[in-house]
Amino acid sequence: MSRIERVYVDTSVYGGYFDKEFKEWTEKFFEEVDQGKFKLVVSNLIDTELKNAPKHIREFSKTYIDNSEIVLITKNVSKLAKNYIAQKVVGETNFNDCVHIAAASIAKVDLLVSWNFKHIVRLDRIQGYNSVNKTLGYPVLEIRSPMEVLHYE
């Protein structure tokens, strides 16, 4: 039996469950979570982000979040997130995205999963985040969409 991967999930994955474009892959991802193939990891930032989400997304995410490993947003997480911005990986308006990356990096998860192709799941961004991580002594972070991490049989 293979090892259960610790997967950091950002808020976009929960919303993707109800998005026509991402629904099929997100449903399959959560089926694999239910089968025990992934151990979900989230930061407490997700609570803030979900406060403004539609009720059905909040309700869907609750059970998964309640059973997830929670990473707290510490000074180290904020400092690393600010470094991504200082190194121009993304702009200042994307601080929360940087917090997700930093929290996942510091928690040393196996990978981060997101549907955010503009600021997270994009080759140049991934290279930028990991360049900062390597420079500051943090591990390289594997970043993928839910579609890319499924176990096809």
What is the value of pTM for the model shown? 0.94
The pLDDT of residue 36 is 95
β-pairing, 69-71 with 111-113? unpaired
The pLDDT of residue 152 is 80
**What is the radius of gyration, based on Cα positions, of the chain?**
15
Q: Is the pLDDT of residue 11 over 50?
A: yes
pLDDT tens digit sequence for 27-74:
999 999 999 999 999 999 999 999 999 999 999 999 999 999 999 999
Q: Is the pLDDT of residue 19 over 50?
A: yes
Domain ranges of the chain: 5-149
Q: Where are the alpha helices (DSSP H) in the chain?
A: 11-16, 23-34, 45-50, 55-66, 75-86, 95-106, 123-135, 146-149
**Single-letter amino acid, residue 43:** S
Model confidence at 4, in pLDDT bands (50, 70, 90)?
Answer: confident
CATH code matching the domain that covers 5-149, chosen among 3.40.50.1010, 3.10.110.10, 3.30.1180.20, 3.40.1280.10: 3.40.50.1010
- The mean predicted confidence, pLDDT, of the chain is 96
Whole-number Cα distances in Å, 113 to 39, 55, 75, 86, 109:
12, 22, 23, 24, 11
